[in-house]
Amino acid sequence: MSEMATTDPPRRTSFRTGRLLTADDLRVEQEYHRGMRYLHNRLHGHGVAEGLEVTVEQAGVSVSPGLAIDAHGRELVVTALRVVDATAVPALTDGPRDLVLTWAEVPRLTVPGPDGEEQCTGWDEEPQVTLVAPGHAAPEALLLARLARDSDGAISVDTSGRRPLGPAVGGPATSTVTARTRWRTRFGRLLTGATTHRGRPPLA
């Protein structure tokens, strides 16, 4: 499930002793928790929470590891440096290109199924970093930077259109520093194992 429609009631599996669980039962339970998490994330708005810095290097245009939330509330977790071929940025006369981040999942491993067809055993959520013409990105894509070449062929990086994590339009503004601080504090405590006296992760 890539997103959860707010018109659908939250639905989860009812467990009881002796019940035979099918793959569909487990899928419903997993989608319930994913959907509710996405809805919770949307309370915080969408945008870049941490990292995802764009730099131009000899190897190409690089995007650092980081975290973002898209408009559906889905987490966009980039765990390793991504590099986009610099030749994909067109000449000055062809206009700029937007470097965007989009949620995506890929099968982790495939095995033969009962009917002989290949079936995946799991999914890896690997956001895609792509270059598109301005105005042609998917609605849920997050803009990381606008790239353009100057008259000398050098690539410039414009991040003025980049959205920091914060409430949707109409809510109070959240600065990039505030958003990063909140997420760094929250995830930093979880990763270091800090807990409250009840053994629960503390809230930022």
Residue 100 lies in a domain: yes
Residue 29 lies in a domain: no
The rounded distance, in Å, linking the Cα atoms of 68 and 201 is 21
Domain that holds residue 181: 46-191
Report the length, in residues, of the chain. 204
- The count of structural domains within the chain is 1
Tell me which DSSP letter residue 190 carries.
H
The rounded distance, in Å, linking the Cα atoms of 181 and 176 is 8
What is the residue-level pLDDT of the chain in tens, covering all 204 positions?
A: 445 555 677 777 778 898 888 888 888 888 888 888 988 888 889 999 999 999 998 878 999 999 999 999 999 999 999 999 888 888 877 889 999 999 998 888 777 777 778 887 888 889 999 999 998 999 999 999 999 888 888 898 999 999 999 876 554 444 444 444 444 544 444 344 443 334 444 444
Neighbours of 127 (CB within 10 A): 26
Residue 158 lies in a domain: yes
The rounded distance, in Å, linking the Cα atoms of 16 and 113 is 28
Residue 103 lies in a domain: yes
Q: Is 28 helix (H, G, I), strand (E, B) or coil?
A: helix
Specify the pLDDT at position 169. 56
Specify the pLDDT at position 110. 77
Residue 4 lies in a domain: no
CA 133 centroid distance within chain:
20
Specify the pLDDT at position 68. 95
